[in-house]
Structure 1
Amino acid sequence: MMCEKIICLFVACLFYSIYICKTKRTMKLLLSYIIGLFLILSLSACHDGGNATTLLRQADSLMQEFPDSALSLLESISHPEKLSGSERADYAIFLTRARTKLYVHESSDSLIRFAVDYYKRSWNNERKMQAYYYRGCVYRDMRCMDLAVKDFLQALKVIPKESEYLYLGAIYENLAGCYAEQNLYKDAMHAHHKAHEIYIKQKKDDGLFYAVRGIGYVFMLQHQLDSALVYYQKALDVAENIGEDYYKSIILSELGILHNEKGEFQKANQYLSASISSAPTGTNLFSEYLRKGCILRNIHQMDSARYYLNLSKSSPYIFNRGGSYGELYKLEKEEKNYPAAIAAADSFIYYLDSIYDTTKAAEITRLADQYEIEFYQQKIAGRYKIEVLSLLLLFIIGGAISLWIDKRRKKKYLELQNQLMKSRTDILSGDFEDQGNAESDFMRMLEPSLELCLQLFRRTETHEKLLSLEKKMGVATSLSIHEGQMICESIYETFGDIMLKLKIQYADLTKEDLLHCVFFLLGCSKETILLCTRASEGAFKSRKSRMKIKLGEEFFEWMTIRQYLVS
Structure 2
Amino acid sequence: MKTTTVSVYAAFFFILVLSVSCRRDSEAPDVAFQKIEMCMESLPDTALYLLKSVPHPEKLRGKSQADYALLLTQAMDQNYVKFTSDSLIALALNYYTVERGDTAMRAKAQYYYGRVLRELGKDEEALSFLSSAKEMFGKIQCCKMFAMATDEIGMVNRKKKLYQESLKNFQESYAIYEELKDSVGIVRAGQNIGRAYLFQNNWDSCYFYYNNALELARKKQYPSEVSILHELGILYRSMGELKKSERYFLAAYEKETDEERKYVECMSLGYLYIQMGDVENARKYFKMSVNSSKEYTRIDAYNNLYFLEKDIDNFEEAITYHEKADSIVSVLDEVDSLELITELQKQYENEKLRSDNLQMKMHRTVFLFCGTIVFLIVAFYMCYYYYKSKNHKKKIAEIESQIRDNEEEIK
Fold in common (TM above 0.5): yes
* Amino acid in the other structure paired with 1:180: R
Identify the residue that residue 316 of structure 2 maps to in structure 1. 339
Relative to structure 1, the CA distance from residue 283 to residue 201 in structure 2 (aligned partners, 3 Å threshold; closer, same or farther) is farther
Identify the residue that residue 139 of structure 1 maps to in structure 2. 117
1:370-420 CA-partner distances (Å, limit 9, x unpaired): xxxxxxxxxxxxxxxxxxxxxxxxxxxxxxxxxxxxxxxxxxxxxxxxxxx
Match of 1:269 among 231, 246, 250: 246
1:78-112 CA-partner distances (Å, limit 9, x unpaired): 33232121010000100000000000011110110
2:107/2:136 contact within 8 Å kept: yes
Q: Which runs of 5+ in 1 are unaligned?
A: 1-45, 366-567
1:86 aligns with 2:63: yes
Identify the residue that residue 246 of structure 1 maps to in structure 2. 223
Give the 3-state SS of the residue equivalent to 1:284 in structure 2: helix
In structure 2, C-alpha distance between the alignment counterparts of 1:331 and 1:98, rounded to whole Å:
44
**Alpha-carbon distance, 1:231 to partner:** 2.8
What is the number of equivalent residue pairs in this alignment?
318
After the TM superposition, which residues 478-489 of structure 1 pair with which residues of structure 2 at under 5 Å, given as runs?
Answer: none
Give the 3-state SS of the residue equivalent to 2:121 in structure 1: coil
**Alpha-carbon distance, 1:339 to partner:** 2.5
**Alpha-carbon distance, 1:357 to partner:** 8.5
After the TM superposition, which residues 6-17 of structure 1 pair with which residues of structure 2 at under 5 Å, given as runs?
Answer: none
* Amino acid in the other structure paired with 1:273: L
1:157-206 CA-partner distances (Å, limit 9, x unpaired): 22277773542222111111111111121221111011111011111222
Identify the residue that residue 157 of structure 2 maps to in structure 1. 179
Identify the residue that residue 322 of structure 1 maps to in structure 2. 299
**Alpha-carbon distance, 1:328 to partner:** 1.2
1:221 aligns with 2:199: yes
1:32-88 CA-partner distances (Å, limit 9, x unpaired): xxxxxxxxxxxxxx9463454454234223211111111111112233232121010
2:130/2:149 contact within 8 Å kept: yes
Whose Rg is larger? 1
1:219/1:228 contact within 8 Å kept: yes
**Alpha-carbon distance, 1:113 to partner:** 0.7
In structure 1, C-alpha distance between the alignment counterparts of 2:257 and 2:106, rounded to whole Å:
37
Match of 2:188 among 179, 195, 210: 210
1:287-322 CA-partner distances (Å, limit 9, x unpaired): 111100111122222222222112222223233222
* Amino acid in the other structure paired with 1:255: L
After the TM superposition, which residues 350-369 of structure 1 pair with which residues of structure 2 at under 5 Å, given as runs?
Answer: 350-352=327-329
1:246/1:280 contact within 8 Å kept: no
**Alpha-carbon distance, 1:225 to partner:** 3.9
In structure 1, C-alpha distance between the alignment counterparts of 2:224 and 2:316, rounded to whole Å:
41
**Alpha-carbon distance, 1:354 to partner:** 6.6
Relative to structure 1, the CA distance from residue 177 to residue 350 in structure 2 (aligned partners, 3 Å threshold; closer, same or farther) is farther
1:300 aligns with 2:261: no
Match of 2:45 among 58, 64, 68: 68
Identify the residue that residue 404 of structure 2 maps to in structure 1. none
Relative to structure 1, the CA distance from residue 199 to residue 137 in structure 2 (aligned partners, 3 Å threshold; closer, same or farther) is same
* Amino acid in the other structure paired with 2:288: L
Give the 3-state SS of the residue equivalent to 2:291 in structure 1: coil
1:49 aligns with 2:60: no
Relative to structure 1, the CA distance from residue 243 to residue 61 in structure 2 (aligned partners, 3 Å threshold; closer, same or farther) is closer
Q: What do you get for the CA RMSD once the two structures are aligned?
A: 2.9
Relative to structure 1, the CA distance from residue 64 to residue 220 in structure 2 (aligned partners, 3 Å threshold; closer, same or farther) is same
Relative to structure 1, the CA distance from residue 283 to residue 333 in structure 2 (aligned partners, 3 Å threshold; closer, same or farther) is closer
After the TM superposition, which residues 35-46 of structure 1 pair with which residues of structure 2 at under 5 Å, given as runs?
Answer: none
Identify the residue that residue 102 of structure 1 maps to in structure 2. 79
TM-score normalised by length of structure 1:
0.52
2:73/2:89 contact within 8 Å kept: yes
Identify the residue that residue 106 of structure 2 maps to in structure 1. 128
After the TM superposition, which residues 455-494 of structure 1 pair with which residues of structure 2 at under 5 Å, given as runs?
Answer: none
After the TM superposition, which residues 399-548 of structure 1 pair with which residues of structure 2 at under 5 Å, given as runs?
Answer: none
TM-score normalised by length of structure 2:
0.70
- Bigger drift between 285-294 and 166-175 goes to 166-175
Give the 3-state SS of the residue equivalent to 2:84 in structure 1: coil
Identical aligned pairs, as a percentage? 27
In structure 1, C-alpha distance between the alignment counterparts of 2:181 and 2:223, rounded to whole Å:
19
1:151 aligns with 2:112: no
